[in-house]
Every structure is written in structure tokens, then in C-alpha cells.
Amino acid sequence: MLELRRQYPIAGLLKLAGLARSTFYYQQKALLAGDKHEKTRVSIQTVYDRHKGRYGYRRITAALKLLGTIVNHKTVQRLMRQMGLKSLVRSKKYKSYKGAVGRTVPDLLQRQFDAPGINQKWVTDVTEFKVAGEKLYLSPVMDLYNREIIAFETARHPVFKLVGNMLEKALNKLGKDEKPTIHSDQGWHYQMPEYQRKLEESHVLQSMSRKGNCLDNAPIESFFAVLKSEFFYLEKFDSFEALQEGIETYIHYYNNDRIKLKLNGLSPVQYRTQPLTA
């Protein structure tokens, strides 16, 4: 290179190489300075791998902040693009039923999905999975204070015991003076006398969405979408038991490790316990 520079001026070398002057000096400066984002790249890859590709650039930015690395989200986006990293999660879409509407009990939430404290507003529903020629049904209940799944039950069939067992687990976590409102759709499980009797005995108010309107219960519908896009669609299961175990593992991850931007970059459990650890 030194010999070439003696024979040709810089302008001649650039013309020979087909490089713009600005590009030449930028690359020369980068080579001399090294990659200033090298540590950030390593941190991004670590977070990305830990969460199995579920995080996009915004959530990775928040995760880096928790680790003490402050970096602009646009920089993270650019670095991820250069590294070939992209969230594996499919985008979530709602489809709302447009038919007739009705009620069995009033909709007490009225899409007010925020709660000032724990065990004040709960939401619940049932979803299904297909695996190895079988079906698995999941019935969880979510606390709207921090979007934590506080109880859940799985079964091979959508029998009442599926929802009944879930409800028992949730009610057992209530303190003496805690009397939440529990919101659901108008599914037959929630209209059963036994279900409603358990709520009355625990002084829990019942609330229901309008018929066929999933947006009236959007938080739990969103959880189902996240669960399937971040877990079910990314894995392969050869048995009912494998899927059942995987769901339990994911819900633990969702509650304890998966950060939410709306919770100041904390996981549901971290958000619930932060006043105790502050």
C-alpha cells in the first residue's frame, strides 16, 4: 500500500479502486477505531438467544437498559439488521365477530383494562391447541394489574372441571379482603350455576363481554396470541404431554422473565414485587 501511494496520489488510488473519497476515509477511520458497537452486538445476540428469537428491537433495547447498557432503539434496530436478527414472532391480529350481541350478566369492565392494584380485575377465557391428533385446552386467569397469569389449568376436553379447577386455584390466592371482578366471554362454562356459586361465595363479581366480541376481553386474547406466536408456532410437539409441559414452562417464562414495555421494561412478577425490593 505504501509503495502504491508513492507511485500514485490518493485521488488516483481511489479512482483505481472505484471508491468515493468519503467512503475511503470512513472505512479507514473505522479500521483504526475498531467496531465501537462490538460489545453492544454481543449483548444483543445474548438477549436474542436467551429469549429464543421472540424479542424485536424495542424489547431488546429495554432489556439492554435493565442490564445497564443504554443505547438508542434505532441503533439496536440497525445493528440487528446488520446481524441478520429478526423477531421470529408473527404479528398479532384481532378478528371481531360482527353478528348479534347480547348479555347474560353486565359488562362491568367496559374495556377498562387497567387496575391500580393486584387482585382487583381478572380476565379469563379458554383456548385450544392441536397436537399429534389430539386437542389440549388451556384455561388461564390473568390479573390486569400486571398481566400476570395467576392460575391456569389444562385438559384433553373442554369440560367444566377445566374451568372449575382454574377458578379454585385463583380463588385460593386471594387475601381476606380481596374481592376482584372476573371478566369472561359468554361461554357455557361461565354460565354454569356451580361457577357462579363459587364466585358468590368468594364475593367475586362476575362480568361478561358482549356476545362474540373478543375486543371486550382483549388482554386475555392478546395473551393467547403471544403464547401461540412465541411458543406454539415455533416448536414441534410429538405428544399431548410434551405440549402440556411446554405450556407450563412458557407461562413461567412469561410471568417471570418476559419483559413488557408497558410495565417499564419489567416482567409481570418483577413489576408486582418491585415495591418490596425497592
User: pLDDT tens for residues 132-164?
Assistant: 889 999 999 999 999 999 999 999 999 999 999
Confirm whether 88 is domain-assigned: no
3-state secondary structure of 205: strand
pTM, to two decimals: 0.69
Query: Are both 129 and 266 inside the same structural domain?
Result: yes
The torsion defined by the Cα of 61, 65, 67 and 70, in degrees rounded to 10, comes to 100
Closest CA to 40 of 73, 11, 13: 73
Cell of 206: 362476575
The alpha-helical segments, DSSP class H, found in the chain are: 2-7, 10-17, 21-33, 38-50, 57-66, 73-83, 160-171, 188-191, 193-201, 218-230, 240-256, 268-277
The conformation of residue 141, written as its DSSP 8-state character, comes to: E
Query: Are both 10 and 46 inside the same structural domain?
Result: no
Query: Are both 190 and 225 inside the same structural domain?
Result: yes
Residue with cell 389440549: 136
Confirm whether 99 is domain-assigned: no
Confirm whether 101 is domain-assigned: no
Q: Is 247 exposed, middle or buried (0-12, 13-18, 19+ CB in 10 A)?
A: buried
Closest CA to 233 of 158, 136, 131: 131
Q: Are the beta carbons of 184 and 125 closer than 8 angstroms? A: yes
Confirm whether 104 is domain-assigned: no
Query: Are both 229 and 241 inside the same structural domain?
Result: yes
Query: Are both 200 and 134 inside the same structural domain?
Result: yes
Query: Are both 73 and 190 inside the same structural domain?
Result: no
Listed as ranges, residues in the chain with pLDDT below 70 are: 1-35, 90-103, 275-278
Question: Per the structure, how many domains does the chain have?
Answer: 3
- For residue 10, give its domain range: 4-33
The alpha-helical segments, DSSP class H, found in 67-143 are: 73-83
Query: Are both 250 and 193 inside the same structural domain?
Result: yes
Confirm whether 141 is domain-assigned: yes
Q: Are the beta carbons of 109 and 207 closer than 8 angstroms? A: yes
pLDDT for 34 equals 58
Query: Are both 215 and 137 inside the same structural domain?
Result: yes
Closest CA to 77 of 91, 57, 62, 61: 57
What's the rounded Cα separation, in Å, for the pair 72 and 171?
43
Confirm whether 138 is domain-assigned: yes
pLDDT for 7 equals 47
Query: Are both 57 and 11 inside the same structural domain?
Result: no
Query: Are both 25 and 149 inside the same structural domain?
Result: no
The string of pLDDT tens digits covering residues 193-242 is 999 999 999 999 999 998 878 899 999 999 999 999 999 999 999 999 99
Confirm whether 106 is domain-assigned: no
pLDDT for 271 equals 95
pLDDT for 57 equals 84
Query: Are both 64 and 165 inside the same structural domain?
Result: no
Q: Is 6 exposed, middle or buried (0-12, 13-18, 19+ CB in 10 A)?
A: exposed
Query: Are both 241 and 161 inside the same structural domain?
Result: yes
3-state secondary structure of 227: helix
Give all strands (DSSP E) within 40-158, no chain letters.
Answer: 121-124, 127-131, 134-143, 148-155
Confirm whether 165 is domain-assigned: yes
